[in-house]
Structure 1
Amino acid sequence: MENEQNGFSDDSSDELYEHQVITADPKQTLLRVDKFLMDRLPNVTRSKIQAGIKDGFVKVNGDTVKPNYKVHPGDEVSIFLPEPPRDEEVVPEDIPLNIIHEDEHILVVNKPAGMVVHPAYQNWTGTLVNALAYHFQNLPEMQGNEGRPGLVHRIDKDTSGLLVIAKTEKAMNGLAKQFFDHSIERTYYALVWGVPEEPNGTIHINVGRSLKDRRVTTAFPDGDFGKNAITHWELMEDLRYVSLMKCNLETGRTHQIRAHMKWIGHTLFNDATYGGDQIIKGTVFTKYKQFVQNCFKAISRQALHAKTLGFVHPATKEFMQFDSELPEDFQTVLEKWRGYVNFTDNPED
């Protein structure tokens, strides 16, 4: 899980609020401001820092600077964001949870699409963490991930599916190590545009925040940017212009499946961020276009579901595996495509 607690906002605003001031030591040697901040914001990438500086989110002695500005002894480096500073207290909210499994150490929940996992800019309430704070007290927090009790990983707002929550420090440490070691079993089902030529494959390409648009994760095939990312995929169902794919994550980068699928030419169906909300494959006929638009209405999000989750229980040391049904919107759009293929193959039936 990438921690973006200290990340710069993706939104711009006419009013900026000071969040942090770092004063350079009197013995500070001349150092580029982006490198200066890299050493002091360990959870933020250099490209994000550079983009924040260019967008005016960083000031030195009250003035905006370029990323190559050299920090001098005694300089005051200030970080600004469009939203006012907030404390890390999570407001408990009585939001129902779909609990798949619970014991004294862990909790496995099935998150619905549309629910944000943790509070962040523009989503301070109504999140999974707000619900957890209401139903459970004294959940542990990972170091560097304050304000997100119980969390050891996350999935995107509009992705549905399984998450494991730590209820104790022992559970948090044990699960965090498994995520770090990439030994957690995570299987997603995705409906994508197009049909791959091979029945299965592995994508081993770096992914990271786009250098042009920080809201988007992109593939870096040369490995010069981003982080190591590995996705194993398998074709589950050929639906002519779309496919049902099974994706197993070996690593867990932000938007990894969405970026990897786009890279191999199979953008997730109705994924607006990555262009999947356009008709990428198929015919030019009006009836087909109307059919696809109806499919978009049936699943008003990217067609991605975290279906299974497997890990070694941090206390009992037993391997546990959990499975979830595809949500109704995903099932509906699948049936629509199956019906389309059947009708076009057998128009007189």
Structure 2
Amino acid sequence: MSKQLNERTVEAEVPERLDRWLADHVEALSRNRVQQLIAQGAVSVNGQVCDRKKELVAAGDRIVFTVPETQPYELTPEDIPLDILYEDDQLLIVNKPAGMVVHPAPGHATGTLVHALLFHCGEQLTGVGGVQRPGIVHRLDKNTTGAIVVAKTEIALHSLQQQIQAKTAQREYLGIVNGAPKAEQGTINQPIGRHPKHRKKMSILPIEAGGRIAITHWKSVERLGNYTLMHFQLETGRTHQIRVHSTHLGLPIIGDPDYGSGKFPGVRLPGQALHAFRLTLSHPISQAVVSAQAPLPQKWEQLLAQLRSRQR
């Protein structure tokens, strides 16, 4: 198996663990994957093979590592139940649960939405949008729940992608945030890009530094003491957009492990409290309006009931 040779020079103000530094500065590698490479002797520091993940590296250290080239996934259909909100011969809209990854990626070779779709749709998805992401038009984070549309044909794929790019498809979310906004509604227009230090995170980043335009419209739905149920509507679709923008407002999504505390004020959800509750688009063939609403997960209902009871 061929390998890719990579080299990095550390630029750090203080010494940092080797595994943490690599995971933060090499977007394609998870912390677990870095530790595997170290254990395999695939990482060297200043010309010496390093097999200690806790090895400290500092400014000027030269790190060289080899990574086996990515091999195509053998996508085998998996009989995973799907909560289907809408379906016809061109598309389907699924209510994705928390914990489900949309398409295969390193560390998630099975159990994804794509594997479930291949079982449900059979050969209909063959060749639609490529081998690795058949039918996938957009995505939701692993622990974000709710409505996601999937194309069954190339015509539908191109139409739906164009609608999202042209901002004619409406994607609406509900989120429970920590804190209370001063206004009842507003718009966040702040560019988002890859975090300069933590490469698996996103951040508010100026356009000249690599950020991309990101616009989120929001309004308060229900005030729950120190928490607020909020409605979000995306005008753009950047990675982690609502989570980053909400934190920028000083109102992080509760349970968010990356941009908040990761804690819940009561009933614990399986992921951050963000739910894609409604998706509205034009049908690729008939141009009729298709609107699907994903009911709140049961745990959401329990959490909201608990927060409401505290207000009585």
Same fold (TM over 0.5): yes
Residues 91-106 of structure 1 aligned to structure 2 (within 5 Å):
91-106=76-91
Check whether the contact 1:140–1:172 (CA below 8 A) recurs between aligned residues: no
Q: TM-score, normalised by structure 2?
A: 0.78
Letter in 2 for 1:337: L
How far apart, in 1, do the equivalents of 2:200 and 2:271 lie? 16
Letter in 1 for 2:271: R
Residues 244-255 of structure 1 aligned to structure 2 (within 5 Å):
244-255=229-240
How far apart, in 2, do the equivalents of 1:110 and 1:9 lie? 29
In structure 2, the residue matched to 1:179 is: 164
Residues 1-349 of structure 1 aligned to structure 2 (within 5 Å):
8-11=28-31, 12-15=34-37, 64=64, 80-81=66-67, 85-136=70-121, 137-139=123-125, 146-220=131-205, 224-278=209-263, 292=265, 295=266, 297-342=267-312
Q: TM-score, normalised by structure 1?
A: 0.70
1:212 Cα deviation after fit: 0.8
How far apart, in 1, do the equivalents of 2:157 and 2:297 lie? 28
The runs of 5 or more residues in structure 2 that have no matched partner are 1-25, 41-60
SS at match of 1:272: coil
Check whether the contact 1:240–1:341 (CA below 8 A) recurs between aligned residues: yes
Superposition CA RMSD, Å: 2.3
How far apart, in 2, do the equivalents of 1:146 and 1:264 lie? 39
Can you list the C-alpha shifts for 1:304-340, whole angstroms capped at 9, x where unaligned? 0000001111111112111121111111111111011
How far apart, in 2, do the equivalents of 1:183 and 1:150 lie? 19
Q: Percent identity among equivalent residues?
A: 38
The runs of 5 or more residues in structure 1 that have no matched partner are 1-5, 18-53, 57-63, 65-78, 280-291, 343-349
SS at match of 1:101: strand
The structure-2 alpha-carbon separation of the partners of 1:104 and 1:222, relative to structure 1 and needing over 3 Å to count, comes to closer
1:100 Cα deviation after fit: 1.0
How far apart, in 2, do the equivalents of 1:150 and 1:80 lie? 33
How far apart, in 1, do the equivalents of 2:219 and 2:85 lie? 26
Check whether the contact 1:298–1:332 (CA below 8 A) recurs between aligned residues: no
Corresponding pairs, count: 263
After the TM superposition, list the runs of 4 or more consecutive aligned residues in structure 1 that deviate by more than 4 angstroms. Answer: 140-143
Can you list the C-alpha shifts for 1:234-257, whole angstroms capped at 9, x where unaligned? 000011101000000001111100
